[in-house]
Amino acid sequence: MLHRNLLLLRRTRMTSFSTFSIILAAFCSVQSQNYRQVLEKSLLFYEGQRSGRLPANNRIPWRGDSMLEDGDGDVDLTGGYFDAGDHVKFNFPQAWALSTIAMGGLDFKEGFIASGQLNNLLEAYKWGADYYLKCHTGETELFVQVGNATADHNSWDIPERWTDPRPAYKITAERPGSDIAGETSALFSAGTLLFQTVNDTYASILLDHAKSLYTFANQYRGKYSDSVPEATPFYTSWAFEDEIAWAAAWLYRASGEERYLLEAEALYAEFNLQYVNDFSWDGKASGVDILLYQTTGRAEYGQKLISYCDWVVDQAPRTPKGLLFLSEWGSLRAASNSLFVCVQAGKLGLNTEKYFNFAKTQIDLMLGDWGRSFVVGYGTNPPTRYHHRAASCPSPPVPCGWSEFDNINPNPHVLNGALVGGPGPNDEYIDVRNDAVRNEVAVDYNAGFQGVVASLEEYFGSGKK
């Protein structure tokens, strides 16, 4: 064990490390992380992000009902999740977070079961999916955002105290958004599989919506950020093609209907999705490869996954301490998402040991081996001044504002389980609230991350040690 860790460390770019730090780091990584506890907390994080009327079994005592007027005319749009430290419901990244939460739950279910977290995972998914069912108001009508980002970002306060009206934005046949319709279809397909043995009625409702949204996405093509520019500039979509293919591939996995496989493969060819890129709220191409390799086992998809994951393990940029560094904003999110692709590949039999060992080294760095924990409420020296309005404000009726944003005190509430953005390219990191690039937390940060943690629990075990 010790020997293997030393080898893994040497393979990272830690040439400047002294012998002492190598031994120290190896010693630390022997103290295995408690993945079960991380999963428990990650799901608590999602509970802390809930918008709407909270149920009686809410486990976050410092959160209450909020945004109960969200809607459009007669349409009720309460519920769902706040995006990050702010209170807008940006449906595009949130939808990807939900499809990825569900995918982690489907493909690494044993990890969630071993941790006693399967039920919390289903609840986390359903809280989001129920909101998306409300958003899907017609065959060619889907709400894509609630809240005015400019107005929201001008305020620093708890969501429970917000009273201004919040605009809701939608796509239609005239103002299409294949990206967000496709991603919403994908989240419903993934949920179909997650719930089919739990509640068949719910599963078939999800599948009906998934099919309808896929048709909408494919027939009325365009980017939601072009069609509904009022709802941007946040989360502007780079392309819509990958989401249409992702939706088709998910529908094949969820329904087993051959036509969706044929369409997924035709779309894959039509859109030339040949370059595997990083998996994220905006990029789904590598996710399509996973789904198509899972369902068909064809070597061409497996080869692409291997070439991507070999690059991630052997060549991708890293910080001096060895963390993958693929994005300036939210570096740990980008790292986790790439690991999510590669543990999926590993589970499908592609370089299994290599990809799982690498994922373990990376996740253990995030959880403590780097020198501190980057997960709120977990491990040694976790972040305490993460960029999050609700957690940084005292409980009502004490007011809150920009002085709470500026002060140097730790947040009075602990948003357990939140993965912060993470260090810069040279391991720069300060636990300070006004650095949103490195200290924000968001619903898309934890989605791939918790899937990887579940995969490690499944592959290595942890809770017993």
The least distance separating ligand NAG from the CB of residue 149, rounded to whole angstroms, comes to: 8
Q: How many residues bind ligand NAG (CB under 6 A)?
A: 9
Smallest distance, ligand NAG to C-beta of residue 148, A: 4
The Cα–Cα gap between 109 and 337 comes to 18
Q: Minimum Å distance from CB 147 to ligand NAG?
A: 9
Q: Which long-range contacts (CB under 8 A, 24 or more apart) does 313-317 make?
A: 313/342, 313/354, 313/355, 313/358, 317/425
Cα 105-260-345 angle, rounded to 5 deg:
40
The residue (of 138 and 167) whose beta carbon lies closer to ligand NAG is 167
Q: Which is nearer to ligand NAG, 63 or 126 (CB)?
A: 126
Nearer to ligand NAG, 38 or 231 (CB): 231
The contacts of residue 370 (CB under 8 Å, 6+ apart) are 321, 323, 423, 427
User: What is the length of the chain?
Assistant: 465
What does the alpha-carbon distance between residue 106 and residue 55 come to, in Å, rounded to a whole number?
A: 25
Q: What is the DSSP string of 235-258?
A: T--S-SHHHHHHHHHHHHHHH--H
- Give the count of alpha carbons within 13 A of 187, CB side only: 30
Binding mask 131-150 for ligand NAG (x = CB under 6 A): -----------------x-x
Q: Would you state the structure tokens that stand for residue 453, as one six-digit string?
A: 């943690």
From 383, 379, 374, 349, select the one nearest 445 (Cα to Cα): 374
If the CB atoms of residues 28 and 205 are measured against ligand NAG, the closer one turns out to be 205
- Applying the rule CB under 6 A, the residues between 332 and 361 that interact with ligand NAG are none
Q: Which is closer to ligand NAG, CB of 148 or CB of 351?
A: 148
151 binds ligand NAG (CB under 6 A): yes
User: In the bound complex, what is the minimum distance in angstroms from residue 48's beta carbon to ligand NAG?
Assistant: 24
Which residue number, 202 or 374, has a Cβ lying nearer to ligand NAG? 202
Smallest separation (angstroms) from ligand NAG to the CB of 169: 9
- Tell me the closest approach of the beta carbon of residue 4 to ligand NAG, in angstroms: 46
> CA 300, CA 268: separation in Å to the nearest integer?
12
Q: Which of residues 224-283 bind ligand NAG (CB under 6 A)?
A: 230
HSE-CB at 152 with a 13 A cutoff on CA atoms is 25
**Residue 295 binding ligand NAG, by CB under 6 A:** no
Binding status of residue 167 toward ligand NAG by CB under 6 A: yes
CB of 234 to ligand NAG, least distance (A): 12
Question: Interaction with ligand NAG in 175-214: which residues (CB under 6 A)?
Answer: 199, 201-202, 205
Site string for ligand NAG, 99-138 (x = CB under 6 A): ----------------------------------------
Structure tokens belonging to residue 351? 């370089």
> Minimum distance from CB of 378 to ligand NAG (Å)?
32
Q: What is the rounded CA–CA span in Å between residue 188 and residue 206?
A: 5
Q: Given the complex with ligand NAG, which of 202 and 358 has the nearer CB atom? A: 202
Instruction: Specify which residues 75 forms β-bridges with.
Output: 72
Select from 216, 222, 235, 251 the least CA-distant residue to 99. Answer: 251
CA distance 16 to 42: 34
| E strand or H helix at 122 | helix 118-135
Query: How far apart are the C-alpha atoms of 448 and 336, rounded to whole Å?
Result: 6
Residues with a known catalytic role: 86, 387, 431, 440
Q: Which is nearer to ligand NAG, 15 or 201 (CB)?
A: 201
* Interacting residues toward ligand NAG by CB under 6 A: 148, 150-151, 167, 199, 201-202, 205, 230
